[in-house]
């Protein structure tokens, strides 16, 4: 079997297929919250980073982060990246830094920020819902 090399254009087409919204974890969390009677806004542009779910009245912003793109277990995973390290490592580290900055900015606006990894949503949706419910009950004042 011959090695298949993707050109920049081919790679670009593959990358376009990766979704940033409407992912299965996002849909699952949204349906669960809606089913419990919680109403939210999605991809709220008035907050830094456009949180996936926002509860304006309670001032709670929820992000669902993909493990690869946002650096889950980054120190361990970074060593395992073999292809195109000069591109991926700075890109993911920039994403991590941007997430931290967005958290700070949102908190400065007196909002509560919750971040979940995609796999937390898929493996333990109930626990994620409970954490969101606690934040909604306590608003931005709580420390969860």
Tell me: the pLDDT tens digits for 55-91?
999 999 999 999 999 999 999 999 988 888 999 999 9
pLDDT per position as a tens digit, 11-33: 566 555 555 567 899 999 999 99
Q: Is 50 left (phi over 0), alpha (psi -120 to 50) or beta?
A: left
Any domain includes 94: yes
- Residues paired with 65 in a beta bridge: 117
Any domain includes 58: yes
Any domain includes 11: no
Tell me what pLDDT residue 140 has.
57
CATH code of 115's domain: 3.40.960.10
Tell me the HSE value of 95 on the side-chain side, using a 13 A CA sphere: 15
Number of Cβ atoms within 10 Å of the Cβ of 1: 3
Any domain includes 120: yes
pLDDT per position as a tens digit, 104-131: 999 999 999 999 999 999 999 999 999 9
Query: Are the beta carbons of 135 and 142 closer than 8 angstroms?
Result: yes
Residue 84 structural domain: 21-141
pLDDT band at 3 (very low <50, low <70, confident <90, very high): very low
Mean pLDDT, the chain, rounded, equals 87
Tell me what pLDDT residue 141 has.
55
Q: Is 70 left (phi over 0), alpha (psi -120 to 50) or beta?
A: alpha
């Amino acid at each position: 079997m011959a090695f298949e090399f993707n050109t920049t254009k081919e790679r670009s087409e593959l990358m376009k297929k990766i979704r940033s919204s409407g992912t299965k974890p996002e849909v699952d969390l949204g349906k669960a919250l809606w089913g419990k009677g919680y109403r939210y806004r999605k991809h709220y542009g008035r907050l830094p980073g456009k949180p996936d779910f926002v509860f304006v009245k309670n001032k709670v912003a929820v992000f669902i982060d993909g493990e690869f793109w946002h650096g889950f277990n980054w120190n361990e995973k970074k060593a395992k990246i073999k292809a195109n390290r000069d591109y991926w490592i700075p890109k993911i580290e920039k994403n991590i830094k941007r997430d931290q900055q967005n958290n700070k900015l949102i908190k400065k606006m007196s909002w509560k920020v919750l971040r979940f990894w995609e796999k937390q949503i898929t493996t333990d949706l109930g626990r994620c819902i409970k954490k969101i419910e606690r934040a909604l009950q306590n608003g931005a004042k709580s420390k969860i």
